[in-house]
Amino acid sequence: GESVGLHLPTLSVQEGDNSIINCAYSNSASDYFIWYKQESGKGPQFIIDIRSNMDKRQGQRVTVLLNKTVKHLSLQIAATQPGDSAVYFCAENGNYGQNFVFGPGTRLSVLP
């Protein structure tokens, strides 16, 4: 079946450094992508989204890059802070009426 992401890696970064979290997706027909942040004991929280007619979108301290050629999505977090420690999920969605497919997630640990 369709899948987003492969494994659940852990990324450790120093406070103040930039973080890059990657995600691979398999459905070339997907045209909408979301990054979520999930802290322990909470539901996923929307961070940023991007549609397939774009290759880059910026938010506050976050940037999402989409490479449709290799079906790859990345989330860049600038000046990573302790509060950024969480599990990050990418999710893809196809056309109207289709459900979101989530990747396995990446755990980000911010070191003091």
Partner 1 sequence: KAGVTQTPRYLIKTRGQQVTLSCSPISGHRSVSWYQQTPGQGLQFLFEYFSETQRNKGNFPGRFSGRQFSNSRSEMNVSTLELGDSALYLCASTGWGGGETQYFGPGTRLLVL
Helix (H, G, I), strand (E, B) or coil at 99: coil
C-alpha angle 8/14/15, rounded to 5°? Answer: 110
Helix spans in the chain (H): none
* Binding segment (CB under 8 A) for partner 1, from list 15-23, 61-69, 71-79, 86-94: 86-94
Tokens 């070339």 belong to which residue? Answer: 28
Q: Does 91 bind partner 1 (CB under 8 A)?
A: yes
Alpha carbon 2 to its chain centroid, in Å, reads 17
How near is the Cβ of 29 to partner 1 at its closest, in Å? Answer: 12
Given candidates 36, 66, 88, 110, which one binds partner 1 under the rule CB under 8 A? 36
Q: Interface with partner 1 includes 102 (CB under 8 A)? A: yes
Least distance in angstroms from the C-beta of 35 to partner 1:
11
Q: Does 109 bind partner 1 (CB under 8 A)?
A: no
Q: How many angstroms separate the CA atoms of 22 and 59, rounded?
A: 17
Q: Which residues bind partner 1 (CB under 8 A)?
A: 8, 31-32, 34, 36, 42-46, 49, 89, 91, 93-105
